[in-house]
Amino acid sequence: MATLRPILLVEDNPADVELTLAALNKTKLANEIVVARDGVEALDFIFAEGAFAERGGGHPAVVLLDLKLPKVDGLEVLERVKRHPKYRAIPIVMLTSSREESDIVRSYQFGVNSFVVKPVEFNQFFQAIRDLGVFWAVLNEPPPGDL
């Protein structure tokens, strides 16, 4: 049986973190959910550096990445990960409130796997997160190993 990979949630808004965790927990996924509150924490987790140097490696099943983050923004996190040959296969979903065309275009130029605008309505937000969790953690077939 394959080892379950964690889901990395990169979000600085405490209310969005709480809602996202509740929605993911409702799906009854067995994957660990790791929360990074800024872009530096996200990069440290992905690259197993800094506070996460001892985490043991292995790529996340998916990174749910907010666009507007402190320290290092979501686009820079995306660009750094997708630029690195060892990590570029990690699925990254931009999960943001932004509907700006330039954010969408730049995200896809940097290699985002999906761009999801957070629904404003509670039930729609909840369902969107549940669907994302099930798709990326259960249905999606990742490349073998940690490419």
Q: What is the pLDDT of residues 10-67, one digit of tens each?
A: 999 999 999 899 988 888 888 899 999 999 999 999 999 999 999 876 899 999 999 9
Q: Rounded to two decimals, what is the model's pTM? A: 0.91
Q: pLDDT digits over 99-138, tens only? A: 899 999 999 999 999 999 987 888 888 888 888 888 888 7
pLDDT confidence of residue 31: 87
pLDDT confidence of residue 105: 95
Burial string for 24-43 (b: 16+ CB within 10 Å, else e) reads beebebebebbbbbbbbbbb
Tokens of 35: 């929360």
Domain ranges of the chain: 10-139
CA 47 to chain centre: 14
- For tokens 């990590």, the residue is 87
Q: pLDDT digits over 97-106, tens only? A: 888 999 999 9
Task: At 96, give phi and psi (nearest 5°).
Answer: -145, 165
Cα–Cα distance, 98 to 62 (Å, whole number): 20
Q: Work out the angle between the directed axes of helices 122-134 and 14-26 (0-180°, nearest 10).
A: 60
How are beta strands 114-117 and 92-96 bridged, if at all? parallel
pLDDT confidence of residue 145: 64
> Which CATH number fits the domain 10-139, given the four candidates 3.30.565.10, 1.10.150.120, 3.90.550.10, 3.40.50.2300?
3.40.50.2300
pLDDT at 146 over 70: no
Cα–Cα distance, 90 to 147 (Å, whole number): 9
Strands (E), 37-113: 62-65, 92-96
**Closest CA relative to residue 51, chosen from 65, 37, 72:** 37
